Amino acid sequence: MLATSHRWLALSVLSLGVLLIGIDSTVLAVAAPTIAHDLSATSTQMLWIGDIYSFVLAGLLITMGALGDRIGPKKLLLCCATLFAVASVAAAFAPTAGLLIVARALLGVAGASLAPSTLALIRGVFPNPRERAVAVGIWASIFSAGTALGPVVGGLLLEHFWWGSVFLVNVPVVVVLVVGGAVLLPELHNAAPGPRDVIGVALSLVGILGLVYSVKQATATGLHADVLVAGLVGAAALTLFVRRELRAPVPLIDLRLFANRRFSGVVVTNTLTVLGPSAVLYFLSQYFQLVQGYRPLHAGIAELPAAVAAMVFGVLAGVAVRYRSQRGVLTTALTLLGTALASLTLLTPSTSYPQIGIALFIMGAGLGMAFAVANDVVIDTASPRKSGAAAGISETAYELGTALGIALLGSVIAAYAGPSFAAAPHAFTDGLAVAAGIGSALLLVSALAVWILLKPPPRRRFLPYGCVNAQEGSVPA
């Protein structure tokens, strides 16, 4: 077991992994107009550049989480972090929109190991539940802050460099992660890793990507033959995957985890938590530039309140669950998120920044709290040797929410603004306000669902001999 000081140093290294994921999921928000101009990308290509990363990430998270449980999360983390750096260089120098989409997909492949591997290692490094709750809170706050800092980092780099710099910034972070991880992180070994399930991996990937693609294309272009085929293939693949996992002596993922309503409730919550905010944050950066005339750096700085709040409240949530219930903290977080998005339904081209800034701060606070508590629940409900797979399931839900948020709500905005966002600023703003309203409704429903699903079971009352529980309507014998 690591010494106390080494544990927290190890956490700082692990946090770099999710910092990369968070930044890369939103860093293109301010770079999108520049990329569209320089690469002559269509609006459809820009949507793919924005969400292919999350799609591939979501498709492989379960596989990578289970693979980490088998070969060791440290080994997987260091190998895939190196691949992440290589893919970042490829994205930075992509000469066409098509090649940039391919490079972003490769980033998703590499990034799929980072979140489940780091969370599984936190489970091993921090065996004490109280310390682990704080560690997960810090880890989650870094992820949330990275998501909110993406536009700031992108804007700062675009002030001085070309758009490819938003990818090259990953390389020095990966160097620190790989070197620090090799020295500080322990290797966790599974005594019974089980056989490799190549067929299961293929079925899960085809299933998730097929369904996500069909939903995305259906919202963008309507129901066509390719959309229906993709949806049917995805549904069939996931059905076969579930049947295979239920029969396997050593499954790729333990589907019995979903029998625990706390686990299944949090997985659904992770999807809904980010579906609205991810799209709003992504397109709000473009609103600042295309509608209000901000420069890229100023657009990034304008979203800084969300980053600061996410970092601070993510840590506070890790502390709060030591004194308050996970149920109460998570419900509060989702309510804050829903309220913040509801306020953005009043958005107009002339809305003052203080009104938007307050909404961003509340949104960041809710995101930081929700992500910290949700992942604390996940690793609490899974056994240590299944923590990677459980984290993979949870992160899949999160990334699916991000990808679907950009795809679905982005399609709502595109329906209002048309193929060129810049050509119709008033219509773009109207679409963004409607998207915020949809996201708000989903979050408030999710808050109610969490309050119900995370309700602790009733305690049995033990009465004197000859009596039974009065709550059941019985009387003394």
CA distance 235 to 215: 12
One-letter amino acid for residue 162 of the chain: W
- Using the structure block, give the residue that is written with the tokens 């657009």: 299
Instruction: Please report the pLDDT score of residue 335 as a whole number.
Output: 92
Do 359 and 339 form a contact (C-beta atoms < 8 A)?
Answer: no
Do 67 and 193 form a contact (C-beta atoms < 8 A)?
Answer: no
- 425 CB neighbour count, 10 Å cutoff: 16
Instruction: Please report the pLDDT score of residue 86 as a whole number.
Output: 92
Query: pLDDT tens for residues 286-343?
Result: 888 888 888 877 887 888 888 888 888 888 887 777 777 778 888 888 999 999 999 9
Higher pLDDT, 400 or 169: 169
Instruction: Please report the pLDDT score of residue 462 as a whole number.
Output: 47
Candidate from 21-35, 187-201, 215-229, 277-291 with smallest mean pLDDT: 187-201
Average of pLDDT values for 387-416? 71
Average of pLDDT values for 422-443? 82
Instruction: Please report the pLDDT score of residue 473 as a whole number.
Output: 41
Instruction: Please report the pLDDT score of residue 453 as a whole number.
Output: 76
Do 114 and 80 form a contact (C-beta atoms < 8 A)?
Answer: yes
Average of pLDDT values for 152-171? 85
**Left, alpha or beta for 224 (phi > 0: left; psi -120 to 50: alpha)?**
beta
407: which residues sit within 8 A by CB, 6+ positions away? Answer: 47, 51, 212, 215, 216, 219, 220
Average pLDDT, the chain: 79
CA distance 183 to 14: 12
Tokens encoding 316: 């506070």
Candidate from 25-34, 258-267, 459-468 with smallest mean pLDDT: 459-468
Percent of the chain residues topping a pLDDT of 70: 85
Candidate from 60-69, 267-276, 412-421 with smallest mean pLDDT: 412-421
Do 367 and 401 form a contact (C-beta atoms < 8 A)?
Answer: no
- 249 CB neighbour count, 10 Å cutoff: 6
Instruction: Please report the pLDDT score of residue 320 as a whole number.
Output: 79
Instruction: Please report the pLDDT score of residue 450 as a whole number.
Output: 80
Query: pLDDT tens for residues 434-459?
Result: 888 988 988 888 888 888 877 776 66
Do 195 and 386 form a contact (C-beta atoms < 8 A)?
Answer: no
Q: Which domains does the chain have, with CATH numbers?
A: 4-194+250-455 (1.20.1250.20)
- pLDDT over threshold 60, residue 425: yes
One-letter amino acid for residue 114 of the chain: L
Instruction: Please report the pLDDT score of residue 389 as a whole number.
Output: 64
Query: pLDDT tens for residues 196-209?
Result: 677 877 888 888 78
Average of pLDDT values for 112-125? 80
Confidence band, pLDDT 50/70/90 cuts, at residue 476: very low
Candidate from 77-81, 107-111, 234-238, 412-416 with smallest mean pLDDT: 412-416
Instruction: Please report the pLDDT score of residue 19 as a whole number.
Output: 84
Name the phi and psi angles at 96, rounded to 5.
-135, 160
- Using the structure block, give the residue that is written with the tokens 């490799």: 196
Higher pLDDT, 114 or 459: 114
- pLDDT over threshold 90, residue 474: no
Do 265 and 450 form a contact (C-beta atoms < 8 A)?
Answer: yes
Do 117 and 77 form a contact (C-beta atoms < 8 A)?
Answer: yes
Higher pLDDT, 477 or 139: 139
Q: What is the 3-state secondary structure (H, E, C) of the chain?
A: CCCHHHHHHHHHHHHHHHHHHHHHHHCHHHHHHHHHHHCCCCHHHHHHHHHHHHHHHHHHHHHHHHHHHHHCHHHHHHHHHHHHHHHHHHHHCCCCHHHHHHHHHHHHHHHCCHHHHHHHHHHHHCCCHHHHHHHHHHHHHHHHHHHHHHHHHHHHHHHHCCCCHHHHCHHHHHHHHHHHHHHHCCCCCCCCCCCCCHHHHHHHHHHHHHHHHHHHHHHHHCCCHHHHHHHHHHHHHHHHHHHHHHHCCCCCCCHHHHHCHHHHHHHHHHHHHHHHHHHHHHHHHHHHHHHCCCCHHHHHHHCHHHHHHHHHHHHHHHHHCCCCCHHHHHHHHHHHHHHHHHHHHHCCCCCCHHHHHHHHHHHHHHHHHHHHHHHHHHHHHCCHHHHHHHHHHHHHHHHHHHHHHHHHHHHHHHHHHCCCHHHCHHHHHHHHHHHHHHHHHHHHHHHHHHHHHCCCCCCCCCCCCCCCCHHHCCCCC
pTM here is: 0.70
Instruction: Please report the pLDDT score of residue 477 as a whole number.
Output: 38
Tokens encoding 417: 């603004």
- pLDDT over threshold 60, residue 468: no
Query: pLDDT tens for residues 336-391?
Result: 999 999 999 998 888 899 999 999 999 888 888 887 787 777 767 766 666 666 66
Higher pLDDT, 428 or 192: 428
Question: Taken in order 287, 289, 294, 296, is the CA torsion positive or negative?
Answer: positive
388: which residues sit within 8 A by CB, 6+ positions away? Answer: 65, 66, 67, 68, 69, 73, 116, 117, 119, 120
Candidate from 28-42, 182-196, 216-230 with smallest mean pLDDT: 182-196
Tokens encoding 358: 């307050």
Instruction: Please report the pLDDT score of residue 49 as a whole number.
Output: 84
Query: pLDDT tens for residues 11-31?
Result: 888 888 888 877 877 777 778
- pLDDT over threshold 80, residue 1: no
Q: Which of 50-64, 172-186, 203-217, 364-378 has the highest mean pLDDT?
A: 172-186
Instruction: Please report the pLDDT score of residue 357 as a whole number.
Output: 92
Instruction: Please report the pLDDT score of residue 37 as a whole number.
Output: 84
- Report how far apart, in Å, the C-alpha atoms of 103 and of each of 61, 159, 356, 378 are: 18, 23, 33, 31
Instruction: Please report the pLDDT score of residue 472 as a whole number.
Output: 40
- 458 CB neighbour count, 10 Å cutoff: 8
Instruction: Please report the pLDDT score of residue 422 as a whole number.
Output: 54
CA distance 57 to 205: 10
Question: What number of residues does the chain have?
Answer: 477
